[in-house]
Amino acid sequence: MRFVGRRGPSKTTTVFYATDVHGSERTWRKFLNSAAFYKADVLIMGGDVMGKLTIPVIREAGGGHRATIHGRVERLETAADV
């Protein structure tokens, strides 16, 4: 919707707001694609982005990282792995 005032037409900003993706990659991708679908200028993720489990990633002395996921230790050697 455009409003016309003394200065002429002004562009409005379209905002797309979502919340509660709970770590779902499918829902996250839908959220990201919503900008193009709804022609939104701004995307806002309101909260509850993480899933039901928080996994700490621990920096080790040698520069790598490790995380324990469901009892299994995963080692991350490079920054790209993290």
How many CA atoms lie less than 13 Å away from 42 in the CB half-sphere?
Answer: 7
Q: Residue 67: phi, psi to the nearest 5? A: -145, 145
**pLDDT value, residue 58:** 93
Whether residue 4 has pLDDT greater than 90? no
Q: How far, in Å, are 45, 46, 58, 69 from residue 26 at the CA level?
A: 15, 17, 27, 21
Q: Which residues contact 3 (CB under 8 A, 6 or more apart)?
A: 9, 10, 12
**Predicted model pTM:** 0.50
- List, for residues 5-46, the tens digit of each pLDDT value: 666 666 899 999 999 888 888 988 999 999 999 999 999 998
Q: What letter would DSSP give residue 30?
A: H
